[in-house]
Amino acid sequence: MTETVLVVGASGFLGRSVVERLREDDGDGDRRVVGTYCSTPRATASVQFDFWTDSVESLVAEYDVDTVVFASAVEYGGDADTGDSSVAASFSERAERFAADCADTRVVYVSSAAVFDGTRGRYAESDSRSPRDDYSRRLVAMEDAVDGHCDDAAVLRTSYLFGFSTGELDHRLARTRDHLDRDEPVAYFTDMYKSPVLVTEAAETVARLVDGDATGVVHVPTPRVSVYEFHCEAMRALGYDPAPIERDEVPADMDVAPDASLSSEQFDSVVGFEPSAVRPGLRSQVDDRPDR
């Protein structure tokens, strides 16, 4: 019997890797992966779907979906719809409708460490959420909607996705690489911390949650590093001398989360592999690239 997985946000940075990873399991034809896009189709995303104006219920029915993976960003459109229709609704209302439409499927929702205010770091799944801005409040609203409507659901939180997805380097590292290529100065904070996750390992985690039966929240507990250290280690992996990267500190008047690093009480038992640190993880992607 063929299983169908619907990946919402399959044209995005993570979604592309999720679709590729899930399709790797389709060698014997027992899995169909359907990917959605909002505005631009890709090889991984052939079905148009707008979170703000469309109902996922019709896709679930049309493709006889068993599992829904929500890997789409939640920041576009603010708290109103995209303007493509006369329908106006808050994000929480849209989230509730989406989750209710998926109530009879397994759901894997990809959230973020941004649900925490970042005042102390090393957050575990059992820590209380403390959203600090509209973006993080939308993440919380989606988590709550999934929890309220979907009995068979897992929520995955990551801190900082990086690396190559379908051959494309993430925008943060691409920016740093381009600055170094042009011999232009670039600086990053030494006192802002993340737990960076290789995008293909985030996709692997999603795949294991799709195949498993774990419910509840799971964090990806990669090593805690400063944003400055992250870029230096990544540039080393790409073959660059990171010496031109300058050190900076978070300005006193800048409203940011200083430490969004994650720990986990669930990852080992639920997912079961060792997430990579920045340099070896990215180096492995570089070494595996077909153009090498």
Lookup: tokens for 163 = 């690396």
Q: Which of 194, 179, 171, 186 shows the shortest CA–CA distance to 14? A: 171
Q: pTM for this structure?
A: 0.93
Least confident of 72-81, 100-109, 192-201: 72-81
Report the alpha-carbon distance of residue 239 to residue 193 in Å, rounded.
23
For residues 192-220, average pLDDT? 98
Lookup: tokens for 75 = 């920041």
The predicted structure's pLDDT at residue 80: 43
- Return the biggest CA–CA distance within the chain: 58
Q: 73 or 127, which is more confident?
A: 127
> DSSP letters of 273-288?
S-PPPHHHHHHHHHHH
Q: Give Cβ neighbours of residue 136 (< 8 Å, ≥ 6 apart).
A: 112, 114, 115, 116, 117
Q: Does domain 3-163+195-222 have CATH number 1.10.3720.10?
A: no
Do 220 and 202 meet the contact criterion of CB atoms below 8 Å apart?
yes
pLDDT tens digits, one per residue of 62-100: 999 999 999 998 654 444 444 444 445 688 999 999 999
Burial track 202-232 (b if 16+ CB lie within 10 A, e otherwise): bbbbbbbbbeeebbebbbbbbebbbbbbbbb
Residue 60 has pLDDT above 60, yes or no: yes
pLDDT tens digits, one per residue of 130-187: 999 999 999 999 999 999 999 999 999 999 999 999 999 999 999 999 999 999 999 9
> Predicted confidence band at 252 (pLDDT cuts at 50, 70, 90)?
very high
When the pLDDT of each residue in the chain is averaged and rounded to a whole number, the result is 93
Element (H, E) at 87: none
> Predicted confidence band at 27 (pLDDT cuts at 50, 70, 90)?
low
